[in-house]
Amino acid sequence: MHDGGHVPASDMRLVRNEFRDFVDEFFPDERFSFDRIHTVGATLIPPLLRSLESQGLRLVVSRNLASADWLYRASAGRMKRLIQTNDLRFHPNATPNDTVVMALFHDNEPRGCIASRLIWCEQSLAEEMESGRFWVMHPPTMWQDPDKCVVRANIAKTIKACHVVCTGSVYLAQGVTGGHTLAAMLRLHHLWILCHWRWSWLVAIIEGSLVRRHAFDIYGMTGIDLGIWRTRPGEGDELHRYDLLTCPRDAAMESWLRIETGDLNRPMGLPPRSVFPCTEQRTQSNA
C-alpha cells in the first residue's frame, strides 16, 4: 500500500501553499455562453459554498498533484488508498492543465478531498486500462508483473480517441460526514471540471455498496457497469473488483447546468421540476 513517502516533510508547507480558494480558481472556458457562465457563477456556486461555510468549511483548489499525496497522508486512514492516476509517483508528468485537487479545510486543517485528472485515451478505455497506459505514465517501467487489470465493462470498450476525466481519492473526515457536505463538494467539483476542461467522459472506479447506492443521486453519474478487476500497487497479485461509473459530457451539460443543482435537498439526476414536478416528492416519500 502507498505510504505517501515520496513527498518529503520539508515540502509539506510548500504543498499546503498550493491551495487557493475555490472562487479564486474559477475561470470558466471562454467558449461557454454568458448565460451558462452566469447560471453557474451567480445561481449554482453561491448556495453550495454557503452550505459548506455554514459548517465552518472552506473549499480550496490546487493544480499540483503532490497535494493529493499530502491529503492522503493527512486523512488518517479515511482515504483508503491513493488511486494511481492521482499518484505523483506514477504520473510525474502531471501538470496544472490536467490536474485538479480540491480539499475542504476547517481551521486550516484538511477535512475532505476529491481529485481528478484529464487523461487522453487513444485506444479504448478498456485497452488503455489493461495495458497500464491509463494508470501510469510509462508502463515498461511502472506497470510490471504482478500489475494487472482486466476490464469486462462493455462501455469501456466504446470510449476511445477522446479525453476523459478520472475522478477519485474522495474522502471526508469523521467529524464532517453525513448531511450535504459530500454532495456540495462533489457538485462544486463537477461544475469546475465542466467549465474548465474539454472532455467527453467522466469516469471513476468504485468499490463498496454505499458508493454504488449513491452513484446517481450524489455522485451525479449516469451509468454504472460491472466488471473491472485489478491489482493494487505493492499488494501482490490479488485482483480486486471495481465497478465503473460513467457520465458523458452532453448528459453532464444537460443535467448539471440547471438551477436544481444548487438545491442540496434535491438528488442529482432527477428531471427538472418543470418536466416532472411531482418526481421529487415521490422520490423522497420512497426513501
* Helix pair angle (45-53, 181-196), 10° resolution: 140
Which tens digit of pLDDT belongs to each residue from 103-157? Answer: 999 998 899 999 999 999 999 999 999 999 999 999 999 999 999 999 999 999 9
Residue ranges making up the domain that contains 44: 9-265
Separation of alpha carbons 157 and 153, rounded Å: 7
Q: Is residue 166 part of a domain?
A: yes
160-196 in b/e burial notation, b at 16+ Cβ within 10 A?
bebebbbbbbbbbbeebeeebbbbbbbbbbbbbbbbb
pTM: 0.89
Strand partners, 228: 151, 242
Helices (H), 103-248: 125-131, 139-142, 181-196, 209-213
In tens, the pLDDT along 199-209 reads: 999 999 998 77
User: Does 271 map to a domain?
Assistant: no
pLDDT tens digits, one per residue of 185-237: 999 999 999 999 999 999 999 987 767 778 999 999 999 998 899 999 999 99
Identify whether 18 is part of a domain: yes
Q: Which CATH number characterizes residue 196's domain?
A: 3.40.630.30
Asked whether residue 261 is assigned to any structural domain, the reply reads yes
Residue whose C-alpha cell is 495495458: 131
Signed CA dihedral, 122, 223, 170, 105: sign only:
positive
CB 147 within 8 A of CB 221: no
Say if 180 falls within a structural domain. Answer: yes
The structural domain count of the chain equals 1
Query: Is 286 a member of any domain?
Result: no
